[in-house]
Each structure stands twice: as structure tokens, then as C-alpha cells.
Amino acid sequence: MLDTDYYELLQVERNADEKTIKSAYRRIAMECHPDRNPGCKVSEEKFKAVSQAYDCLKDPQKRAAYDRFGHAAFRQGGAGAAQDFGSFSDIFENIFGEFMGGARGQQRSSALRGSDLRYDLEITLEDAYHGKDVKLDIETTASCAPCGGSGAKPGTAARTCTYCEGRGQVRAQQGFFVVERVCPTCRGSGQVIADPCASCRGEGRAETRKALEVRIPAGVDEGTRIRLSGEGEAGSRGGPPGDLYIFIHIARHALFQREGTTLFARCPISFTTAALGGCIEVPGLDRTRHEIKIPAGIQSGKQLKQRGAGMPILNGRGTGDMVIEVQVETPTKLSPKQKELLEEFRKTETGDECPASSGFFSKIKSMWGDLT
């Protein structure tokens, strides 16, 4: 059974993601766990096989080696054996360790660091401006209480792996080199749990939910990453926990668009305000009204800058600017009196009021003169 394809053992496709593989392992491991099938050798062997399969497929490097070489990747002298080396220094130590006081025979700790977690948090632009305290409910793992994180059944303990003598690696001869690979018995931990904890199935940790309160600093932007050290998954068999990374996402705002510390907004104004000039008020994220002066004769698309009314600088001092882009709006509903006044205005037009349109139509007239 140990040579059965790992994906078949876990009943998943070869392109299955980490979450699918983890869910499949937990389901099958629970079905064939020795505690639920006392005295059944078949269930015991299946439990060992699916545990070995999951240990391989949950590790990206081991999985890549297995996908390429199959079971040969982890056999002595196999084609993929070299995939288990951490660096060239590991090979150097294997060759010269005996002559230079190396770590041969030294026991390897079975404790492994927990995985890092990612949490995507969406906040409003106002929250990004002022900063915010948020409460998070995180699904993670914690040290198993019944076994104290050891992974062994309460009252028992893990024993040193006799196959690798606790080193977590075994040696193999490849040509002129003596190299090492992960021990197939203890899978690199250096220890073997003969009687695993029923609560955590030998992992030394169990799923739980954790409530956290996090301060989001003022000035964060889309994609800002906040790291919370030690708030990730618990380590295996007493290992240190991983970290939690919070990725910030900014919700779309009804008025403003953001580019760095600059806030952009399009503001429609009446054609009379555009012609005669005036003032408009724009509400800022700083909860104040900003008065924007409109110069007479302004055109659509003209940008007006309000200094210091933009976003605060993250972990710094000062703020960016607010930029208002003017959009001149042509009236669509006019009263009879307004139409009368506009007709009178049109009668007084000389062409100098709108030089751009006057120049455009002058060019058209010259083109018509060239047509036969």
C-alpha cells in the first residue's frame, strides 16, 4: 500500500489544491484511524499510508519532487533523492562531517514551525484615511491541549527513530559522493510516535478559531501588508507558530479615486458658474468642507488642486493633495424666461466669447472654399 499513488490514496486529482488535499486526508484518516479500528492491521497500514501521502503532498517541494520522480524521489539512490537537500553546505557536511567534527549522530528536533496565514481585509477609504481598530475572527490551529502539543497519546511519548537514529536523514552512496535524504520512517522528524494522540492524530495541534484586535494605521493603501508575528498556525509537535499576514483592500468610494496620497474627484458645475466664476464646496475625508474657487471662463477637464486635503502619508508626516476635475454641465431643462435670456445673449455674440469654437468653424469655412 505504501507504493500506491499518493493522489489515489487521498482520492484527489493531481491538480488538487492544498485545501482539497487537507480535507481529503482528514476524512480518510478519521475513517481508518487505529483508535476507531482497534486490532485491524489493514486500517493501521492504510492510516500510515495516507499520513505519508499527506506529508508529501502538503509540502510544495516534496510534492514537486514526487510529481516528477514518483516514489523514487524518496528512495535510497532514487532519481529524485537530491531534491531533499537544503543546500550545497548539506552535502559538504555529509562528506567531511566525520573529519571536521560534524553533526553525525546528532538528533534532529521533531518540532516544526507552523504555517503562515493570510487574511484579506476590506476597509473603506475613510478607514484608510483615519486608521481603524478592527476585530478579526481567524480560523487557525493551536497546540493540542490533551497531548500538550507532543502529538503522542497522553501518558506516552515519542521515541527516537531507530532507522535514522534520530537524525531525520539517512545516508546513501551515489558515485563518489555520500549524500543524505529524508528518513522514510520518521519523515525527517527524527522521532516516531507509536501511539498518537486521538484528539490531534499525532499532529500536536488542532483546529480552532482565534479572535484578534488589529490597529490599521492611517494612510494604508491597496495591497498594504500587515504582519502579526506568531499569530499564524501552531507549530507541529511543539514547534514555534507561524505569522499572520493581513492584506488590505480598499472599497470603491462614491466620490474619490486614489492614486498614492492624491485624491481625485470629478465635479460638475453649471455653465453659468463656468462662465462667470464662483465657489463650490467639496467634503473632504478629513470631515471638513473645502472651498474651491472657480475662475471665470473655466473649461471642462480643468483640474484644480487643494493642497493638504489628500491622504495621509503612511508612517510619516503630512498629507497629499485633493485634485478636482471640473465638468461643465449643459442645462437640459430651461424655463421660458431662461430660454428668452439665452436667445438675447446669442444675438449679442460676436465669436470672441468662445475663441476655440470660432476658430474651428473658420477652418471649416476655408475647407469648403477649396471644394469644387
**Binding-site residues, please?**
144, 147, 161, 164, 183, 186, 197, 200
Cα gap 28→43, rounded to integer Å: 10
Q: Which residue from 109, 118, 143 is spatially nearest to 235, judged by alpha carbons? A: 143
Q: What contacts 330, CB < 8 A, 6 or more positions away?
A: 271
Q: Are strands 177-182 and 169-174 parallel, antiparallel or unpaired?
A: antiparallel
The residue written with cell numbers 486500517 in the block is 43
Write down how long the chain is: 372
What residue numbers does the annotated binding site for Zn(2+) cover? 144, 147, 161, 164, 183, 186, 197, 200
C-alpha cell at 87: 543546500
C-alpha cell at 39: 486490532
Cα gap 28→249, rounded to integer Å: 37
Ordered DSSP codes for 174-236: ETTEEEEEE-TTTTTSSEE-SSB-TTTTTSSEEEEEEEEEEEE-TT--TT-EEEETT-SPPPB
Sheet holding 117-123, edge to edge: 117-123, 244-250, 225-228
